[in-house]
Structure 1
C-alpha cells in the first residue's frame, strides 16, 4: 500500500480539521461487490473524524454519523443513460458546500476519483493498431453508450487542481499510467483493507456455519464468491470439480440472477449435486467460516477483496496470477497462496486443488500466512492513507484560491 499523496500533506492544523466529504457510489450495499464494500468500509472508518455524506441510488446501509442522500433513478436501463443521470444529479447536489467530493463512479466531477475497474479506453483500444484501432473508433463514434462512457472517463481523469486519482493495485496503476498519462503524477495506490474477525473460526463454528447455509457437514468445501460468475472464473472451476474426490463440494456466493443458467449446465451430471448456489449474502462471514479454501480463478480483478477477506479468516486461497488479479502482485506462490498461471486451464486448477486438499501441512501453512498477510491490510490503516489524500486535495484547492 503506497500513496503518492502521503508526502507533503500540509501542516498539523490541517490534519486536525473536520472535513465535509461527499461520497458517490450508485449502489451503497455490502451485497453490491468489492468496490461497494471498499467504499462502505472507508465511510465507516472516516465517519469517526469527518462529516460524511453518501450519494447513491440504492442504499442498504446505516452507520452513526453518516448522512445518506438517495439519488433518483428514473431510467435504470439502458445503463449508460442512468450513469449520465447519476453523474449530473450528483454534480448538481454537491457543486458547493463540500471540502472534498470523492467519486467511486464514472463522473466528471470530484477531487478524488477511486478506480476499481479497468478503464473503458483500455478495454477498447489496448493492443489494437492500424485499421483495427480505426474500426474501434468507428464503433465508439456510432455507439451513444460507448461515447458517453469514453467522454465521462476522459473528463474524470483530466488534469484539475486538487484532483487525485486513487487505484487499488500496482497493476492497475501501470495500466492507468499508460491509458491516461495526464493523471500519472497525482495517482496513488490505496489497496482495499480488511477487518480481522473478532472470533477465530473453530470446528464448532465451521459446523454451525454449514448448518446455517445448508452445506454438508462432513464434506470438504470449496468457496467461490463473485457477482459476475463468468468473469470471476466459475466455468473453469465447475470443469475442475469432477476431477476431484466425491467428498469435495462447491459453495457459490453471488448474484442470484445468474444461478439458473449455471444450474442448467449441471443438469444430468453426476456431480451437479455437489454444487450449492447460496445467492447474495448480506453477511459473507458464515461462508468463509464454512469453507476449507477459497478458489478465485478470476479473469479480471483489479484487486479482489474476496481474497483478502478469505485470508483474514485464515483460509488457504487459490487465485489467478497478477496478469488477471491485482492482489496476486502482493502474494507469494506456495508461501501465502497458490497462484494460477492460467485460470482458464481447468486441468491445472484441478491439480492445484488436489495438491492443497491432499496436504494438511500446506493447508495450515497457507492459512497461517494468509492471516499474517491480512493483518498488514486493516481498514484503520487504509483509512489514514485515504484521509491524507483528502487533505492533499483540500490544500491544493486552498493554494489555488490564496
Structure 2
C-alpha cells in the first residue's frame, strides 16, 4: 500500500488542523544512532506545523516549539525491565490529550509504530522447524526477558483501528509481513532522509581533519556505528592491514566497544592508522574529512549512515541487500559498491582499492551518490509521515464519535 494514498483527509483540511502529537523514544539525542536521528529529524521537520511532545529517558536536544518530558528510569538494567517500565509509564502519560501517539519503541500502545530493527519473533524463530522450534519456545518460556519482548511486540503489531506501522525499507516490510501477517495492511515504508549539504571543498576537508585530529594527508576511510561487531569493524580492520600505509580509518560511534577493538588494532600494528573518535554530537565533520564510507554490516534494516555519507558526496562500500536495507535501492558500480560477502576481508580490500585508486570509478560513484541522496530529502519524508498522522487521527476521531453516539 502506498503511503501517499493513506491520508483520509484533503490537503486543505490537513493544513488547517494542528495535531497534538506525542513522540516516544527512550533516547532522544543525535549520538544515539540512526533510529534516534530518524525520529529527531521528523520532529524538527514537523514542529512548526504541529504541537509535538517528546517523551524520553535521555534527552539531549532542543528545538523551537517542541516540548520535552523526561520519563523516569528507576532501573536501566536489566534492559527488558526498563523497556517494560518505559512502555507502561508512557502509556499512562499519553493515554489522554493527544491526537496521535507515535512510538519508536517496543510498546503496546501508539497509533503510529515505527520499526527500526528486526522483529524479536523473526530473530528467534526464522528458519526453525520441528524440535528446533520447540526448543526455542522452551527457551522463550523460561526467559522473562524474551517473553516480555515477544508479548510487547505482539501487542505492538496487533491490528486495531487507525494503527499505522512504519518500516524503513522494503526488505524490513517483507520480514514484517512474514512475522506478523495480521498487520500487513497497516504497513508503510518511510525511509530515512537527509538534508543535502553544500559540496565539501578541499579547505573544508582539511579543516575537518585538523579539528578531529586526523592526518592532513592520505586517504581516509570512515566507519560509523554503535555496534562495531554487528556492523563489521573486525573485517574492515583486517582489510585495512593489507592496504597501503597512507590509508587510515576513522571510527565514530559507541565508545563502550573501543577497548575490545584497540586490541585488534594493536595486534595488527595499525595504531598509527586507526582513530577512535567515540560518539560525536555532530557527525558532519567526520563525513567532510573522509574519502570513502565503509559499512560492511551484517544486519541493518536500512543504514541511515550510508545515505548521510552519500549526501556528502562520499563513495560508499556497503553490504548487499541480504544484509542491509538501503542496498536494495542501490546499483552496484553506479552509486555504490555492494559486498555480497561482508565477512570476506579480501573482497572488501579489493573493493576499497577500486574506490581509492581508480579515479574514474570514484568520480562515477561520487556523482551517483549525490544523485541518489538528493531524492531522499527529509522534507519529503516528513510529508509522508504527516499523511500517516492524519490517517490515524481521522480513524480515531471516527471511533470516538461512534462510541459517543452508541452511549447516547
| Aligned mates of 2:28, 2:13 — CA distance in 1 | 29
1:134 aligns with: 134
1:260 aligns with: 259
Over 6 Å off, 4+ runs: none
> Residue 32 in 1 paired to residue 60 in 2?
no
State the shift of 1:268 in Å: 4.1
1:341 aligns with: 340
State the shift of 1:355 in Å: 1.1
Q: Per the alignment, in what secondary structure is the counterpart of residue 44 of structure 1?
A: helix
Count residues in correspondence. 400
Residue by residue over 1:47-95, the C-alpha shift from the partner in whole angstroms, topping out at 9 and shown as x without a partner, is 0100000000000000000000000000000000000000000000000
State the shift of 1:3 in Å: 3.6
Residue by residue over 1:288-341, the C-alpha shift from the partner in whole angstroms, topping out at 9 and shown as x without a partner, is 000000000000000000000000000000000011000011100000000000
Q: How does 1:162-311 map to 2 (within 5 A)?
A: 162-197=162-197, 199-311=198-310
2:404 aligns with: none
| Aligned mates of 1:217, 1:8 — CA distance in 2 | 51
Preserved CA contact (<8 Å) 1:51 1:66: yes
Preserved CA contact (<8 Å) 1:232 1:296: yes
| Aligned mates of 1:45, 1:62 — CA distance in 2 | 13
Q: Which runs of 5+ in 1 are unaligned?
A: none
| Aligned mates of 2:337, 2:4 — CA distance in 1 | 33
> Residue 67 in 1 paired to residue 67 in 2?
yes
| Aligned mates of 1:69, 1:312 — CA distance in 2 | 32
| Aligned mates of 2:270, 2:394 — CA distance in 1 | 60
1:388 aligns with: 387
TM-score computed with the length of structure 2 as normaliser: 0.96
| Aligned mates of 1:338, 1:262 — CA distance in 2 | 25
Preserved CA contact (<8 Å) 2:7 2:387: no
Q: Per the alignment, in what secondary structure is the counterpart of residue 229 of structure 1?
A: coil
| Aligned mates of 2:21, 2:7 — CA distance in 1 | 21
1:355 aligns with: 354
Preserved CA contact (<8 Å) 1:304 1:327: yes
| Aligned mates of 1:11, 1:255 — CA distance in 2 | 44
Q: How does 1:5-154 map to 2 (within 5 A)?
A: 6-16=5-15, 17-154=17-154
Q: Which runs of 5+ in 2 are unaligned?
A: 402-408
| Aligned mates of 1:182, 1:386 — CA distance in 2 | 22
